[in-house]
Amino acid sequence: MSLRLLHAAADAENTDELHLGRLLVLLSSAGGRRQTKTVEGITKLAKLDFLLRYPNCLERALQHVGQNPEKAEIQPYERDTIETKMIRFRYGPWDGRYRRWLSLLVAKGLAEVTTKGRTVHITLTSRGYDTAAVLRQSEHFMDIAKRSDMITQTFGAYSGKRLMNFVYETFPELLNMKWGENIQL
């Protein structure tokens, strides 16, 4: 692998737009056909995104719930490369940038964040859904769109706590990691 390719991968990982696009697609899947459902909690969003960002883990999660892991349709190049950074956190896999990304989506008029009690509810605006629809048609986001649909159909009804417990049950090696340690599954 060339140094130029490594720099390009690092630049992509540090570019908010890549993550915003992925979250738009994931949130559009979570919104359902009528685009009325919300993701209840940033922790839940992080766990759903964990399965999206780490397709090898999605395979394991599908197998754990008795589904065919081949449904994840992992491409050969995805088997050995995990270019996204997540760390071990109190609530499982986490990226410290979620609040930033949600703030950017809200500032761009693409998402709405509300609170009910102590729970943050995240949904897309109509503009957000329109933007996500364009991304879903892009060849660069088609795999992400398919996986987002699969993830939300399979795990979207889980509460944040149930999803957190599921992640720890399915990936027990996370429990042995120190908080703040990069996840390398």
- pLDDT for 184 equals 60
Residue 180, in any domain of the structure: no
DSSP 8-state secondary structure symbol assigned to residue 70? G
Instruction: Give the per-residue pLDDT at 88.
Output: 43
Structure tokens at 82: 């995990």
The whole-number mean pLDDT for each consecutive block of 10 residues of the chain, a chain of 185 residues, reads 55 78 97 89 92 89 95 79 50 75 97 94 96 96 95 95 92 70 59
Q: Give the domain range for residue 90.
A: 3-171
- Residues whose CB falls within 8 Å of the CB of residue 120, separated by 6 or more in sequence, listed in order: 40, 41, 42, 113, 114
Report whether 147 contacts 52 (CB < 8 A).
yes
**Tokens representing 168?**
């720890």
CA dist., res. 63 & res. 42, Å (int):
25
Helix (H, G, I), strand (E, B) or coil at 66: coil
**Residue 176 covered by a domain:** no
What amino acid is encoded at 143 in this protein?
A: D
* Domain assignment present for 185: no
Is residue 183 included in any domain, yes or no? Answer: no
Q: Confirm whether 106 is domain-assigned.
A: yes
| pTM strictly above 0.75 | yes
Into how many domains does the chain fold? 1
Nearest Cα neighbor of 145 from 29, 50, 55, 58 is 29
